[in-house]
Structure 1
């Protein structure tokens, strides 16, 4: 799980895999750690009967498994399931569990639209881009979205743009990055908007955007070079390998020479590629 966890109970060779995050766990302590540190990811889908079977058959804890099954059958609050599992091991103190209960109660009191945003963020985090896109679109169209500040609303558009870039196209994503930047004024949204325009070959809109947002000519060239290098990397060309070799200059402290030669090299390759496209 990325962290050394001291286990005093049964450690199994057959892990349980959470269906949403695909995280694998091998012990009750790891289960506790996952729940405690991912409380905003926890939903009804987190707890399935297969988890109860794993606790019973792999961790050899039939009493705990039966207790969780009963809670699921009675459709108890998620808080009850989480607390029951945390209390089945001594990994967290009583005070830590009480503090987590307070966090869960705060989540329960959230407006439904904010809970929906958490769900959308989780979809995005774990690469379920189509579901994330659907959730974000529903959020921005909802009257209840008025609870979000301008910056928060812009951030939702930014995340929607990321999902669109993964599922549709850079051109489609560009529209939402622009909506994001007009609301949140974050540099990241502006940069991604400009990148999206370049990737979609929308030269005229890129020029107009640079003029509107006062992007210097030097900055424009840097953005264009970034995209060109990324495209070469995606193609795994010999050109990209040549650019990579220039990084030795940077490691040697010859930073000015590195950027000068990088710029010249990219310019040469751009000319070569343009000639190839036009021929």
Structure 2
């Protein structure tokens, strides 16, 4: 489909705080609405957006329509549809799908909406935004144990992505306590392994009386994860291959020292990139 360029390009962009993006054109606004219907709520229906459409984008008729819809207290679906329809951004069939998604989203509870947004931010690498949404999901009324367990699990995954393995382990433990599951338990053990030194980890394993098969499976998974990550980093691939070979040769102490050293290096590299 060919999109028509209409309106002006904004000198001062419109900031959508929920997702941390700036909008400079009606095409960018339509793209955001079209791709993220499940993220939208009534906070998009602001007079500030109408002013932006009128003054920055020079789309006075559309701005007047949107202002009227806000005053009339219309639905979110009607508001979004008006923008997409007036700009001819999508086909009629696509518009119907968007309207359906918006109606389904309106039926979700507050906590569920927050989790959906958190999942979106996580998939797009916006981890701090994801954590904020997940925390709000936990604080929402009416959340049952299964829902809270799922949210705690996701928070744990985000913390692990940020190399905060101690915090990640705490979240996995809470998730497991609410809804016991072998997969969650294994992730909890993994976080404990990655958070501390080998001696502390083995003490934890003994205290928790972890199943030997689970322990061995975990060690294999961690080795595979390190190998996959190293392949992405090219230069470090051979280094990790050498470390993994120590395990096969029975040099267990050297193997764990090597793994801990590589992990520490990746942490430093990641946090340096975050600062830049």
TM-score, normalized by the shorter chain, greater than 0.5: yes
Q: CA deviation at 1:84?
A: 1.3
Partner of 1:81: 79
Deviation at 1:31, TM superposition (A): 1.8
Matched, 1:270 2:264: no
Residue 11 of structure 1 and its aligned partner are, at CA, apart by 5.3
- For residues 116 and 242 of structure 1, the distance between their equivalents in structure 2, rounded to whole angstroms, comes to 38
Does residue 133 of structure 2 align to residue 138 of structure 1? no
Higher RCO (C-alpha 8 Å, min separation 6): 2
- Within the alignment, does 1:43 sit opposite 2:41 as a pair? yes
Superposition CA RMSD, Å: 4.2
Q: Which of residues 191, 197, 220 is equivalent to 2:192?
A: 197
Query: 1:156-171 alignment to 2 at 5 Å?
Result: 156-162=151-157, 170-171=165-166
CA apart distance, 1:270: 1.8
In structure 2, do the counterparts of structure 1 residues 77 and 184 end up closer, same or farther at CA, with 3 Å as the change threshold? farther
Under a length normalisation based on structure 1, what TM-score does the superposition of the two structures give? 0.66
Summarize the Cα distance change of 1:9–1:70 in structure 2 as closer, same or farther, 3 Å threshold. same
User: 8 Å contact 2:115–2:137 — kept in the other structure?
Assistant: yes
Contact in 2 for aligned 1:32/1:85 (Cα 8 Å): yes
Conservation of the 8 A alpha-carbon contact between 1:133 and 1:160: yes
Structure 1 gaps, min length 5: 234-240, 248-257, 275-279
2:19 maps to which of 7, 18, 21: 21
1:6-155 to structure 2, matched below 5 A, reads 6-10=3-7, 12=9, 14=11, 15-121=13-119, 126=126, 127-128=128-129, 131-139=132-140, 142=141, 144-146=142-144, 150=146, 153-155=148-150
**1:170–1:197: 8 Å Cα contact kept in structure 2?**
yes
TM-score using structure 2 length: 0.67
Give the whole-Å Cα distance in 1 for the aligned partners of 2:205 and 2:16.
43
Do the aligned residues in 2 keep the contact of 1:20 with 1:46 (CA within 8 Å)? no
Alignment size in residue pairs: 245
Task: Give, in angstroms, the shift of residue 50 of structure 1.
Answer: 3.3
